[in-house]
Amino acid sequence: GDRVRQATDLTNVTFRAADERMLRAYVATGEPMDKAGAYGIQGYGAALVERIEGDFFGVMGLPVRLVLRNEARLQAYRRAGGLTLVEQGQAQRYPIPGETADSPEPIRRLLLACKAYDAEAAVASVAHRLDAESELILLQNGLGSQDAVANCVPQARCISASSTEGAFRDGDWRVVFAGHGYTWLGDPAHPVAPFWLDDLSAAGIPHEWSADILTRLWRKLALNCAINPLTVLHHCKNGG
């Protein structure tokens, strides 16, 4: 009755020519000492890399997929060549591999970034890929959608998040980061924080595990009730 699932993620990394002085300087940073392959592409090791073909995050050991709602959106995304993030006026494209919800590979961690009214349907479309080892991070504002999602996939862990980070879209597959903030995460059903919060710290993402995430969600709901009408009236972009 036991099932074994496996998946492979492949990224080709091409290194630039480096002399002994450059390599010794990199070793002296201490960064390669605990890294698979003896380099960290997310740190100083990026200076050693000429190009990659595939998923940048996969090189870090954290392969990422963007799940699109249908084949038409998937093809549009592939034509765009990835997601573009604009930060401090600098645009960078991330060629994150895309797929549709009906892909068979299991999902271990799902970052649900749709609107609250789409959350339940979005999770239902990938429910066959979720099991007892899966975790969902729910970024929806308001209350109610979190319970609906949890009821849809009772086998998985659902973690709610409330964030004051600001961003807006200025085109298809293009996001402008508009304001630094803070993110609270919590799980009323399981108060123990997950181990991967250390990854957020390493990435420099300000966050806190909250034992009372419902209060945070209520507070965000109350603020949005006041802020959202004003942003519409005054044509303000999110985070602006």
Residues classed as catalytic: 220
The phi, psi pair for 66, rounded to 5°, reads -100, 120
What is the Cα–Cα distance from 138 to 220, expressed in whole angstroms?
14
Q: End-to-end CA distance of the chain, in Å?
A: 54
Helix pair 145-152, 116-125: axis angle to 10 deg: 10
What is the 3-state composition of the chain as percent helix, strand, coil, each rounded to the nearest 5? 35, 25, 40
CA 179 from chain centre, in angstroms, equals: 17
